[in-house]
């Protein structure tokens, strides 16, 4: 059976650095026979989480009429999940954070926990600061998310680029993303 890859793109910029690296990663994955799907979160209806109870098992998603549950179900059913976000004010973008928070409404749901266990996780980020590496603001939380779900952190790609589409002008960046996409699929297949 083909490996399935779901990418969650948290940048609102079509043709931006995160978007381009995500597409290149997926292209590489596809070259290894994977079935890929990308969600451009900014163009979806995903609201912040509403109030939830303290008992994880009794939680309700009071906003379940938007797109969050559908995307989370696709994510949990995939073999590889790509979390892609620019660094926005020392964290992931609100678009990705909203979706991740919404998981809390389904925290004990077997479809989420069993789906994510053993799943491959790859992280993609771009950051604009010229003076220091800011990628850890995005990569560190994603590593924790992988650990929480007993998923398998496959690696990441972080690039210092600020302008729209800058990564396409930089030597080897998109090629590296393609290679990492292909390598992630091979790793999950056990090649
Ligand atoms: C709202 C906002 C917040 C940002 N915060 C940071 C930051 O904290 N650190 C940083 O290095 N770059 C920051 N940047 C720059 C972006 O990370 C950078 O431009 C990145 O390439 C954008 O990715 P994209 O092209 O995928 O949208 C910020 C940009 C925006 C619009």
Q: What residue ranges define each of the domains in the chain, with the CATH number in brackets?
A: 4-189 (3.40.50.360)
In whole angstroms, what is the distance from residue 37 CA to residue 189 CA? 18
Distance 87 CA to ligand 1 centre (A): 5
pLDDT, position 113: 96
This prediction has a pTM of 0.98
Per-residue pLDDT tens over the stretch 127-149: 999 999 999 999 999 999 999 99
In whole angstroms, what is the distance from residue 55 CA to residue 145 CA? 20
Residue to substitute in 9, 86, 166 for testing ligand 1 pocket (most ligand atoms within 8 angstroms of CB): 86
Residue to substitute in 127, 136, 160 for testing ligand 1 pocket (most ligand atoms within 8 angstroms of CB): 127
In whole angstroms, what is the distance from residue 128 CA to residue 158 CA? 11
In whole angstroms, what is the distance from residue 142 CA to residue 180 CA? 17
Q: Does 1 score more than 90 pLDDT?
A: no
In whole angstroms, what is the distance from residue 174 CA to residue 28 CA? 10
> Which whole-number Å values give the CA distances from 129 to 13, 84, 125, in the listed order?
18, 18, 13
Distance 86 CA to ligand 1 centre (A): 6
Confidence of residue 99 (pLDDT cuts 50, 70, 90): very high
pLDDT, position 81: 98
Tell me what the pLDDT averaged over the chain comes to.
Answer: 97
Section 31-52 average pLDDT? 97
Ligand 1, CB cutoff 6 Å, lining residues = 11, 13, 16-19, 86-90, 126-129, 134, 161-162, 164
């Amino acid at each position: 059976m083909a490996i399935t890859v779901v990418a969650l793109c948290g940048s609102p910029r079509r043709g931006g650095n995160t978007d381009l690296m995500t597409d290149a990663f997926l292209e590489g994955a596809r070259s290894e026979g994977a079935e890929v799907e990308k969600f451009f979160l900014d163009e979806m209806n995903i609201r912040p989480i509403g109030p939830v109870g303290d008992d994880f098992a009794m939680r309700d998603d009071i906003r379940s009429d938007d797109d969050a549950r559908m995307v989370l179900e696709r994510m949990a059913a995939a073999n590889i999940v790509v979390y892609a976000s620019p660094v926005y004010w020392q964290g992931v973008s609100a678009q990705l954070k909203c979706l991740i928070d919404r998981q809390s409404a389904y925290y004990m749901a077997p479809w989420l926990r069993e789906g994510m266990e053993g799943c491959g996780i790859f992280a993609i980020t771009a950051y604009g600061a010229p003076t220091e590496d800011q990628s850890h603001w995005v990569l560190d939380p994603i590593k924790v998310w992988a650990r929480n779900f007993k998923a398998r952190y496959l690696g990441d790609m972080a690039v210092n680029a600020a302008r729209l589409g800058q990564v396409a002008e930089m030597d080897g960046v998109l090629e590296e993303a393609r290679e990492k996409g292909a390598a992630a699929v091979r790793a999950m297949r056990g090649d």
